C-alpha cells in the first residue's frame, strides 16, 4: 500500500474508534486503568513497547505512529511532570483523537505532532527513548525511519519498539495486511546497525498464522561524552578521518605506518559495517574513529577482525576513545564477530589501559617485530573474545 492509502486507512479507523468501535490492540497491557476509553478502544498495536522501555522520571519519549495515543499517555504517566511524551502521526484524524484523549486524561506532558516517521519533526538529539507500536512494518523506507530515530535520540538513548517481523522463509505473497512490509529479522538487524545502533535484540512474542511474528526490537544509540556523538563513518568524512589518522601516526606511538593511506586504500581494507566516527556536536568536526579489517579470507576466521582506533591528540583523555571502543565492541558482537585483535606498542600505555578496561588481554609480546624510524620495536598482541555465543554460529 502507498503511504497515502495507509494514512487514509488509519484515518477511517480513527473516526470509527471515535464513533465507539473497538479496534484490536490492547493484549499485553495491564496498566490501562484511568485512561480514556476512547484511547483504549483505538489501540492498534501488536505489543506493549512501554512495558519494556524502562522509562524513568524526567525522560523524553517519542512514539512513532502514535495513533489514538495510548502508548504516549502511558509513557507520559511514567516519565512524570518533569518528563515529556511526544507522538508523531501522519493522520490528522488520529492526531485529533489522540489530543482529545490526552486532554481527557489530563496529560499535560503529552504532545502530538503531525509528521511522518521517515522525516521526524524533532531536533537532533532531543529524546531519550524512541518507542513505536506496529508502525515501522508499514513504512516503505525503513532505513529512513531508523536513521531518523537515531538522529533524534541523545547519545545513550534507547530504541524499543513492537513490530511485525518475518522468518526468512516467508514469501511476499504470504505477507498480507499489517505484515505486508514486515522485515526478516536478519534484515532488521542490518538496517539497525547501518543506522548506527548497537546492542540489537529482537525477541519474538506472538506468532501469527502467516508465519510472521510480533516482536520487541531493542537497540541503543552509543553513549558519548558531552558535546560528542558517535555515528557510522561516511565517505564524506574521508578528509577528516585521514587527518585524525595522520595526527595519530605523527605521535609516533600509534602504528609502524608513517603516512595515512588514500581514502580508496583505507576503505577497501576495512569492513563497511564496523566503522564509527566521534564528532563534535557543535562543529561537526571528526574527533576520532574506529574501524576494522578482516584478518584472513579463510572462512574459519570469518569472525576474527583487527581493529584500529584513533582519537586526535588534541582530544585525548576526554572519554572519546572509551566511547568509540565500547560502541565498536557492541557492534562487533551484534555482527557475530567472536575475536577482535590488534597490535599495540608497549609505550602506548593509555591505549593498553583502555583496551584492558574493555575486556582485551595481552596475548604476548612480538619482540622487535618491525622497524620504525630506524628502530626495531616490540608490539603487544591484544585480543578480546566476545562474551556470548551466537546461536547461529558457535564460536570455537
Ligand atoms: C497500526 S496503527 C498503530 C497506532 C498506535 N501505535 C497503536 O499502537 O495503537 C499505525 C499508525 O501509524 C500511522 N502511520 C502509518 N505510517 C506512518 C508514517 N509513515 N508516518 C507517520 N505515521 C504513520 C497511522 O496513521 C496510524 O495511526
Q: Which of 5, 9, 10 to mutate to test the pocket of ligand 1 (most atoms within 8 A of CB)?
A: 10
How many structural domains compose the chain? 2
Do 52 and 9 belong to one domain? yes
Whether 244 lines ligand 1, by a CB cut-off of 6 Å, is no
Whether 43 lines ligand 1, by a CB cut-off of 6 Å, is yes
Note the pLDDT of residue 396. Answer: 44
How much of the chain, in percent, has pLDDT values that exceed 70?
Answer: 94
Do 240 and 181 belong to one domain? no
Note the pLDDT of residue 20. Answer: 85
End position of a domain, from candidates 178, 198, 220 = 220
Asked if the model's pLDDT at residue 394 lies above 50, the reply is no
Whether 50 lines ligand 1, by a CB cut-off of 6 Å, is no
Note the pLDDT of residue 27. Answer: 66
- DSSP 8-state secondary structure symbol assigned to residue 352: H
Query: Distance from the CA of 61 to the center of ligand 1, in angstroms?
Result: 16
Copy the grid coordinates of residue 10. Answer: 488509519
User: Which ligand 1 atom minimizes the distance to the CA of 145?
Assistant: 19
End position of a domain, from candidates 220, 255, 274 = 220
- DSSP 8-state secondary structure symbol assigned to residue 138: G
H or E stretch covering 365:
strand 361-372
In a domain, 76, yes or no: yes
Distance (Å) of CA 27 to CA 13, 65, 127:
18, 18, 27
Asked if the model's pLDDT at residue 172 lies above 60, the reply is no
Do 149 and 54 belong to one domain? yes
| CA-closest residue to ligand 1 atom 12 | 65
Do 43 and 123 belong to one domain? yes
C-alpha torsion sign, points 14, 15, 19, 21: negative
Query: Distance from the CA of 92 to the center of ligand 1, in angstroms?
Result: 11
d(CA 321, CA 311): 6
87 C-beta neighbours (distance < 10 Å), count: 30
Do 170 and 24 belong to one domain? yes
Whether 228 lines ligand 1, by a CB cut-off of 6 Å, is no
d(CA 383, CA 387): 12
Whether 69 lines ligand 1, by a CB cut-off of 6 Å, is no
Average pLDDT of the residues in 322-351: 95
Do 114 and 254 belong to one domain? no
Do 26 and 165 belong to one domain? yes
C-alpha torsion sign, points 9, 14, 15, 16: positive
Distance (Å) of CA 246 to CA 60, 157, 229:
40, 32, 22
Do 91 and 232 belong to one domain? no
- C-beta separation of 35 from 85 below 8 A: no
In a domain, 391, yes or no: no
Do 52 and 165 belong to one domain? yes
d(CA 159, CA 268): 32
Note the pLDDT of residue 266. Answer: 96
User: Which ligand 1 atom minimizes the distance to the CA of 45?
Assistant: 8
End position of a domain, from candidates 177, 202, 220 = 220
| CA-closest residue to ligand 1 atom 27 | 67
Do 96 and 213 belong to one domain? yes
C-alpha torsion sign, points 95, 97, 98, 103: positive
Asked if the model's pLDDT at residue 48 lies above 50, the reply is yes
> Which residues are paired to 383 by β-bridges?
341, 361
Domain with 319 in it: 228-385
In a domain, 395, yes or no: no
List of residues 6+ apart from 316 with CB closer than 8 A: 350
CATH number of the CATH domain containing 111: 3.40.50.150
d(CA 322, CA 317): 9
Asked if the model's pLDDT at residue 59 lies above 50, the reply is yes
Do 241 and 328 belong to one domain? yes
CATH number of the CATH domain containing 309: 3.40.630.30
Residue 292 vs residue 388, higher pLDDT: 292
Q: Which of 28, 50, 65 to mutate to test the pocket of ligand 1 (most atoms within 8 A of CB)?
A: 65
Amino acid at each position: 500500500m502507498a503511504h497515502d492509502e495507509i494514512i487514509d486507512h488509519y484515518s477511517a479507523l480513527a473516526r470509527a474508534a471515535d464513533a465507539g468501535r473497538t479496534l484490536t490492540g490492547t493484549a499485553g497491557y495491564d496498566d490501562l486503568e484511568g485512561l480514556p476509553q476512547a484511547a483504549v478502544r483505538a489501540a492498534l498495536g501488536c505489543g506493549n513497547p512501554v512495558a519494556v522501555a524502562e522509562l524513568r522520571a524526567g525522560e523524553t519519549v517519542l512514539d512513532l505512529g502514535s495513533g489514538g495515543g495510548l502508548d504516549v499517555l502511558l509513557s507520559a504517566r511514567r516519565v512524570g511532570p518533569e518528563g515529556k511524551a511526544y507522538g508523531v502521526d501522519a493522520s490528522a484524524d488520529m492526531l485529533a483523537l489522540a489530543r482529545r484523549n490526552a486532554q481527557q486524561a489530563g496529560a499535560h506532558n503529552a504532545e502530538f505532532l503531525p509528521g511522518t516517521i521517515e522525516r521526524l519533526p524533532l531536533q537532533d538529539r532531543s529524546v531519550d527513548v524512541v518507542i513505536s507500536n506496529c508502525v515501522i512494518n508499514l513504512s516503505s523506507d525503513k532505513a529512513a525511519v531508523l536513521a531518523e530515530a537515531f538522529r533524534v535520540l541523545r547519545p545513550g538513548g534507547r530504541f524499543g519498539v513492537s513490530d511485525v517481523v518475518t522468518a526468512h522463509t516467508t514469501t511476499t505473497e504470504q505477507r498480507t495486511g499489517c505484515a505486508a512490509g514486515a522485515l526478516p529479522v536478519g534484515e532488521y538487524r542490518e538496517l539497525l546497525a547501518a543506522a548506527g545502533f548497537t546492542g540489537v535484540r529482537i525477541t519474538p512474542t506472538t506468532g501469527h498464522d502467516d508465519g510472521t511474528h510480533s516482536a520487541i526490537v531493542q537497540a541503543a544509540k552509543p553513549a558519548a561524552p558531552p558535546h560528542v556523538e558517535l555515528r557510522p563513518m561516511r565517505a564524506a568524512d574521508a578528509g577528516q578521518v585521514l587527518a585524525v589518522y595522520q595526527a595519530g601516526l605523527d605521535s609516533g606511538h600509534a602504528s609502524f605506518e608513517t603516512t595515512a593511506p588514500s581514502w580508496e586504500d583505507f576503505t577497501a581494507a576495512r569492513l563497511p559495517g564496523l566503522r564509527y566516527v566521534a564528532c563534535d556536536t557543535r562543529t561537526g568536526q571528526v574527533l576520532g574513529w574506529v574501524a576494522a579489517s578482516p584478518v584472513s579470507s579463510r572462512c574459519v576466521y570469518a569472525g576474527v577482525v583487527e581493529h584500529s582506533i584513533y582519537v586526535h591528540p588534541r582530544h585525548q583523555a576526554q572519554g572519546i576513545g572509551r566511547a568509540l571502543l565500547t560502541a565498536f565492541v557492541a557492534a562487533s558482537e551484534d555482527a557475530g564477530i567472536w575475536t577482535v585483535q590488534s597490535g599495540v606498542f608497549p609505550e602506548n600505555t593509555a591505549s593498553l589501559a583502555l583496551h584492558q578496561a574493555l575486556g582485551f588481554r595481552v596475548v604476548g609480546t612480538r619482540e622487535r617485530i618491525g622497524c620504525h624510524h630506524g628502530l626495531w620495536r616490540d608490539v603487544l598482541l591484544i585480543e578480546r573474545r566476545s562474551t556470548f555465543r551466537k546461536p547461529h554460529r558457535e564460536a570455537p
